[in-house]
Chains A and B, each alone.
Chain A
Amino acid sequence: MTASSAPPRTPARLSVRGLTKHFGTVRAVEDLTFDVSPGHVTGFLGPNGAGKTTTLRMLVGLTTPTAGTATIGGVRYTELTDPARTIGVALEASTFHPGRSARAHLQMFAPAAGADAARVEQLLALVGLTGDAHRRVGGYSTGMRQRLALATALLGDPDILVLDEPTNGLDPAGIAWLRSFMRGFADSGRTVLVSSHILSEVQHSVDDVVIVAHGRLVHASPLAALAALAVRTVTVDSPDRAALTDLVTRRGWASEPAGAGAPGALRLLHVRAAEIGAAAFAAGVELHLLTEDAPGLEDVFLRLTGQTTGVAA
């Protein structure tokens, strides 16, 4: 990405305050409050139907909130003087006429974003669509549409980039490319808000997370703080299960069945493998399984959003 030739602009903070949207009796978004800081990539996470897209649509004025506000540098989207140069937005993939080529689509929207033909070609190359730019979008794959949506969002060389589920339909190479692109965009002092229903697809590129479920905020913090919420677990098994259970009870360790992955084994919470090993050795309980599970962010995410992991059950 080239730096803008426009006068230096102060990257603006995205601010969501008490944002609420009801569709009839459905509470799609309920009293949502969070901030997105300049220079950061913020992951906007939640399961399908959590209200992510509705929130983003309210941010850009396509949907009218039932209550609350969403502002960009203190200004509502509909009151921005030059929205395309302030904030680039790619909502879910298909916002293209199938009969138009990618180049025609970008050229059509370029003047409204203050972009010229050279910028269009530059963006086509950036997202890897130069070779297909003359083809009609109707024949594009989902991944190609995602790339075109990103190029459209970047037309005005904005300070803020909002991407709604941009990894949908992208191949692994495309996802890796998008990660480094978002990283580079934020490292230049600009702002990225990227939504996803899969934490692992964005966890390597986000600084902050905003997690929603059922339209409500369940967690907002730097990514590192989310990792601290991960529960350390150890899976343990013994040929003498009665003795093992007795040991666990005497030590007062929290336990649960390990589940399908290790039938009959126990999963112990908030305890290290070394401690269990020492205690079992001291009590003369033979162990044939002692595995410290890596704390998984995905598990934290699923727990926060009230989704069952299927393994912990």
Chain B
Amino acid sequence: MRRAVRLEVAKFFSTRMWWVLLVLMAGYMAFLAGGMGFAFTATPQDAGIDASDPLATARAVYAVGTTLGYVFPAIIGTLAVTGDLRHRTIVPTLLADPSRTRLLVAKHLGALPVGLAYGLVGSLAAVGAGAALIALGGGDPMLDSPDVWRTVALSTVALTLWTLVGVGVGSVLSNQVAALVALLAFTQFVEPIARMGLTAGLGDAGGRVAAFLPGAAGDALAEGSIYSLMSPGSLLTWWQGALVLLGYAAVLTVAGRLTTFRRDLG
């Protein structure tokens, strides 16, 4: 098992993809957090935010990774599985260790350090740019508040868990293009619409269902994201959010083990 995990970690760090995506994510998170930080503090009335609560504002800005940036760790997790199939490195991998269950477990364990890197970089980029632009907009970055750092830490955990959800997606959708299209369509389009639609169309019941969508679970885990600012009380607690994300990762991976990974491979 140790060898299998070591192989999966080596796969991440021996091509350029991991740092290309990481740099993209850092840039995107810095841009979004900076933009939000400045808009919330310089023109709060336009942003629809209650600027009298600098803590809520700061947390919403610093948690932008879990609100909008989670697609990056999800992609790198997906690629860990689909890339193996696409480039047929699954062949030497399974020749070295034929257990497919062990392979999927190793992919999750191997994705953890990568996910942690994405979580740290994504969260810290948001804090760095967000704090600077909040200050520039005349607000308080609240960097001395433990609650802010709690959100940063939880946001890091959420992004790490999103890598595991990505591994699950990749094990179900073995075609790399299909998996990435599905991932982008779901996270950028389907889920945001479903979250609003369920709440708007079905009221409280819909909102309770929407809270179990993976993006909502990630928001819940980070505590104090922009969503919870806009519709308070609509999210799960942080640990429930973590369990829901883990649940998605587990269910998708088991489904992948019973479909893609039961077939002839390579």
Contact = CB atoms under 8 A, between A and B. Distances in A.
Contacts of B6: 111-112
A62 B92 contact: no
Nearest to B6: A111
B264 A57 contact: yes
Given A89-B95, A97-B83, A64 B264 contact: yes
A59 to B, nearest CB: 11
Interface string A143-161: 0000000001000000000
A100 interface: yes
B96 A112 contact: yes
B258 to A, nearest CB: 14
Given A57-B264, A94-B88, A97-B89, A109 B96 contact: yes
Contacts of A113: 96
Contact of A61 (B7, B90, B94): B94
Interface string B73-107: 00000000001000111111011111100000000
A62 B7 CA distance: 19
Interface residues of B, number: 26
A307 interface: no
B266 A62 contact: yes
A71 to B, nearest CB: 14
B17 interface: yes
Interface stretch (A40-48, A76-84, A279-287): A76-84
29 contacts: A57-B264, A61-B94, A61-B98, A62-B94, A62-B264, A62-B265, A63-B264, A64-B264, A78-B98, A78-B99, A80-B98, A83-B97, A83-B98, A89-B95, A94-B87, A96-B88, A96-B89, A97-B11, A97-B14, A97-B87, A99-B17, A104-B14, A107-B10, A108-B7, A108-B10, A109-B96, A111-B3, A112-B6, A113-B96
Given A60-B94, A111-B7, 7 more contacts: A60-B95, A78-B98, A80-B98, A91-B91, A98-B87, A108-B7, A152-B92
Interface of B: 3-4, 6-7, 10-11, 14-17, 83, 87-92, 94-99, 264-266
